[in-house]
Amino acid sequence: MTDLETTSTLRSPSGYDLTPPDAAERAALEADLSPEEKRVLLAHGTEAPFCGTLLGEKRAGVFCCRECGLPLFRAGTKFESGTGWPSFTEPVDAAHVRAVVDHSHGMSRTETRCARCDSHQGHVFPDGPPPSGLRYCINSIALAFVPEGEQLPDPLRRGDGRA
């Protein structure tokens, strides 16, 4: 690794590489997505409520970005919000989720995106339970669940696949 590569790597406080994928890496990541995953992750779509495969997921583990594998939410922060989408009180690391003001659909809300690949995840609202008071309302299709003790996805081969 050169000095330039070392100094240009962006790290989260928890040690994950947040450097955005280059054009070739992005193309490879996007080629692995289904049409519906592309609609949600890349075109900022929303899956239908109560249809996501992770809504009822209750096992211990980590919910990672479906596109780049960055760990976004721990199972212990997931709660039943009644909204029809998986909801979480806080991210694994605040640096892993980027907030963007969203004025679509005639309202103002805060969109959440993966801090590494910039894929759309969902929205965050100020009506969640303690301790954060936040409700990260996330599309199941934007996430990959990894049960506790299993290797995290590392499609960018950055050595971030630690459990």
**Cα–Cα distance measured from residue 153 to residue 163, given in angstroms and rounded to the nearest whole number:** 10
Residues annotated as catalytic are 137
- Whole domain around residue 86: which residue ranges? 21-147
Check residue 4 and give its pLDDT.
Answer: 41
Widest Cα–Cα separation across the chain:
50
Residue 152 lies in a domain: no
Residue 25 lies in a domain: yes
Tell me the HSE value of 102 on the side-chain side, using a 13 A CA sphere.
18
**Cα–Cα distance measured from residue 131 to residue 109, given in angstroms and rounded to the nearest whole number:** 21
Check residue 160 and give its pLDDT.
Answer: 73
- Tell me whether residue 63 is exposed, middle or buried, using C-beta atoms within 10 angstroms of its C-beta: 0 to 12, 13 to 18, 19 or more: buried
Residue 104 lies in a domain: yes
**Taken in order 24, 29, 35, 38, is the CA torsion positive or negative?**
negative
CA dihedral 54, 56, 57, 62 (to 10 degrees): 60
User: Does residue 81 have a pLDDT over 50?
Assistant: yes
At a CB cut-off of 8 Å and minimum separation 6, what does 74 contact?
A: 61, 62, 63, 92
Q: What is the CATH number of the domain that holds 28?
A: 2.170.150.20
Residue 76 lies in a domain: yes
- What is the full DSSP assignment across 85-154? S-EESS-SSGGGEEEEEE-GGGS-EEEEEETTT--EEEEEES---TTT--EEEE-GGGEEEEETTSPPP-
**Considering its fold, how many domains does the chain have in total?**
1
Residue 67 lies in a domain: yes
Residue 85 lies in a domain: yes
Residue 138 lies in a domain: yes
The pLDDT confidence band at residue 6, using thresholds 50, 70 and 90, is very low
27-72 per-position pLDDT tens digit: 999 999 999 999 999 999 999 999 999 999 999 999 999 999 999 9
Residue 120 lies in a domain: yes
